[in-house]
Amino acid sequence: MINKWVVYPLLMICSICLIFPICYAFFISLMDGGEILQGQILPKSVTYQNYIDAFKSVPLLQYLWNSFIVSTSVTIGMLVVSSLAAFTFVFIPFHGRNVVFFIFISTMMIPWEATMIPNFLTIQKLGWINSYEGLTIPFFALAFGTFLLRQHFKIIPLELYEASQVAGLSQFKFFYKIVLPVSKTSLVTLGAYGFLTTWNMYLWPLLVTSNDSVRTVQIGIKQLQTQEIATEWGVVMAGVIIVIIPALLLLFLGQKQLQKGLTQGSIK
């Protein structure tokens, strides 16, 4: 549509501007203290010492493990809870279905930040401060997830459901033997989305973790930053690079998938 000799340079310039901060962080993580203080952009010599120091100064491996556990649990929990709800809204005609669906959707209008004070008090009462439960269970039910899966389940022809009943398949068997496998792509989309958002969550882990045992990697970065800022920018950036690699990998692998799945959910 546009001349490609116009588009290529534009694409190049935009890419450089956009990913410069990430590359810059990577370069800084390879420099020693002196070079950083000179305000260099490209490292003259490469050192890995910052990475070793980052692991020494905060228990980064423990944090990475915690983040992994938390993100995986939320992903699985969310997929189970949302897919059950979405299945019910599509295939089971029950009294008040529209009203219940409306109530589900209305939760999307309540910002998490507006309810965080009582939620924090609830978690405290349940004794879930510094526990995986406190970091995961509040995020299992997701109206957006239910909505997205409902859009995809609707594509499954109702005849398939009727045929499965004639064949004597129970509702639950129909759900996990037919609906789930058929909707694999949308489940993967929602799963990747859930994993990314949980991995990157900041405010809630900040509130409900006060020691290293379950603290996630995002809070680890903040800790690293407050500890090392005065002296060691290289160490802080090494920490940042370690933390963003899993999320970026997941994004690059699932980019096409995410784009397709999320757009479909948004406009149908």
Range 105-144, binding another protein (CB under 8 A): 107, 109-122, 137-138, 140-141, 143
d(CA 198, CA 200): 5
- Contact stretch for another protein (CB under 8 A) within 37-45, 54-62, 147-155, 182-190: 37-45
Q: Which is nearer to another protein, 49 or 197 (CB)?
A: 197
- Distance of closest approach, residue 194 Cβ to another protein, in angstroms: 14
> For residues 47 and 225, which CB has a smaller minimum distance to another protein in the complex?
225
Closer to another protein by CB, 38 or 45: give it: 38
Q: Does 42 bind another protein (CB under 8 A)?
A: no
102 binds another protein (CB under 8 A): no
Listed ranges 8-16, 56-64, 128-136, 179-187: which one lies at the site for another protein (CB under 8 A)? 8-16
Interface with another protein (CB under 8 A), residue from 92, 163, 176, 231: 92
Contacts of 171 (CB under 8 A, 6+ apart): 91, 92
Q: Which is nearer to another protein, 45 or 114 (CB)?
A: 114
Select 56 or 260, whichever has its Cβ closest to another protein.
Answer: 260
Nearest approach, Cβ of 168 to another protein (angstroms)? 6
The alpha carbon torsion through 221, 225, 227, 233 (nearest 10 deg) reads 120
Task: Provide the minimum distance between the beta carbon of 203 and another protein in the complex, in angstroms, as a whole number.
Answer: 5
Q: By CB under 8 A, tell whether 177 contacts another protein.
A: no
**Which is nearest to 70 in space by CA: 147, 140, 145?**
140
Q: Which is nearer to another protein, 38 or 211 (CB)?
A: 38
Please give the residues from 186 up to 245 whose contact with another protein meets the rule CB under 8 A.
Answer: 196, 199-200, 202-203, 206-207, 218-219, 221-222, 225, 233, 236-237, 240, 243-244
Q: Which residues 140-169 are close enough to bind another protein by CB under 8 A?
A: 140-141, 143, 146, 165, 168
Query: Residue 53 and residue 234: Cα distance in Å, rounded?
Result: 9
Q: How far is the CB of 73 from another protein (least distance, A)?
A: 14
